[in-house]
Amino acid sequence: MGLIALIATLTIAARSVNYMVQSTVPPLARELGFTPSSIGLLAAVGAVGQLIGSSVVNIALGPSPRRRALVAATAAIPPALAAFWLSGPAGLWAASFISGLSFGVVMPNLINIASVRPEYAERLLAAYSLSLSTSLVIGPAYETAILTRYGYREVFLFFLPFAVTLLALSPRIPMVGSRSADLRATYRSALSSRGFISAALAITSYNVPFIALVTYLPIYASEELGLARAAAYSLFLPFFAVSMLTRLYMFLRPVRDVNKAFAASVALTLSGLAVLYAARDYASLATAMAVLGVPHGSVFTISTIMIVRTTTLEERNAVNSLFSSYLVVLGMAIPPALGAAAELWGYGAMWLLLAPLVAAMSAAFFSLFGKTREFKSPI
């Protein structure tokens, strides 16, 4: 199996399951009586597990033990899906943590595959990002079809074939980077690097709205706008379809000027949020999601390119792992905060709060990195 085919198959299998868990646990929890704030805390528990996997396991272990941890993590995912299917309210907490821990180990190692061939790293990262988007079209379309006949609980069983595929291929994932002799120094170096800081600011400007959509959009569309369960979940289809087309374009036409691409993405994020806030029916919600699909497709790819252009191969495992960990920290902090806002002021106000956060992170990025040479063209 060629490197691009391996990246595509692993990424589609892993992210399809990972996203399904992130987006299906909240409405299942709602059916079991969870409040919006407790749903946010449940999402945070999964994020804590993912943080441990990405920021501790992946950095502390050398290639050989990291490979064993990776295989063990993929082996834990099918039982976790079965646990979600069987769980009551109490069991959701444990299943969420185990699932998060497993994907915390898996996902950074998939990003690292691109660094096996440094001369093609940006193109391989584009292939990885395109595969992520493909999974986020396949997975929601598959789940929407399932939900026309079954409930949220049964969805977890239907995704077992993806999890088994990931387990079967996990021994073929190449390991990049070595064990750090001084973890404290490694963390300091990675956290202070231009690659990490620029990528973190860029991804925050989009990932905060994305986390809000994944956690609360189906609930909002059902409870506030009266959409049926399958219709509410199907709103992700235009979102991820446009995201996939954006990443396909970036694969075929690699980004040269990162800053211009990021500025366009910010403008579309703010526009999409405005349409979402004003939306009162399915068509306008779907339009908002299609607009927001463009920056979803672009910003993650742009962020990983920032890391590649400003780090050495030796630094990249640590920076990629901490970048993944930072995404998890956002996943821990944002859902409870937004859930509390929804309980206090309603979902409309919650959507409105996202715009100043996007603007602030974007302004910080351009203040620090607006003139960075590496972001103007490939080095």
Q: Tens of pLDDT along 147-167?
A: 889 999 999 999 999 999 999
* pLDDT tens-digit series, residues 82-96: 999 988 888 899 999
pLDDT in tens, the chain (379 residues): 578 888 889 999 999 999 899 889 988 998 888 887 788 788 888 888 888 887 777 777 777 888 898 899 999 999 999 999 988 888 899 999 999 999 989 988 887 777 777 667 777 878 888 888 788 788 888 998 898 899 999 999 999 999 999 999 988 887 766 555 566 777 777 777 888 899 999 999 988 888 888 888 888 888 878 788 778 888 888 998 898 899 889 888 888 888 899 999 999 999 999 998 888 889 998 999 999 999 988 998 899 888 888 877 777 777 877 887 888 788 778 878 888 888 888 787 888 888 899 999 999 999 988 887 777 765 4
Domains in the chain: ranges and CATH: 3-170+183-375 (1.20.1250.20)
Secondary structure in 3-state letters for the chain: CCHHHHHHHHHHHHHHHHHHHHHHHHHHHHHCCCCHHHHHHHHHHHHHHHHHHHHHHHHHCCHHHHHHHHHHHHHHHHHHHHHHHHCCHHHHHHHHHHHHHHHHHHHHHHHHHHHHCHHHHHHHHHHHHHHHHHHHHHHHHHHHHHHCCCCHHHHHHHCHHHHHHHHHHHHHCCCCCCCCCCHHHHHHHHHCCHHHHHHHHHHHHHHHHHHHHHHHHHHHHHHCCCCCHHHHHHCHHHHHHHHHHHHHHHHHCCCCCHHHHHHHHHHHHHHHHHHHHHCCCHHHHHHHHHHHHHHHHHHHHHHHHHHHHHCCHHHHHHHHHHHHHHHHHHHHHHHHHHHHHHHHHCHHHHHHHHHHHHHHHHHHHHHHHCCCHHHCCCC
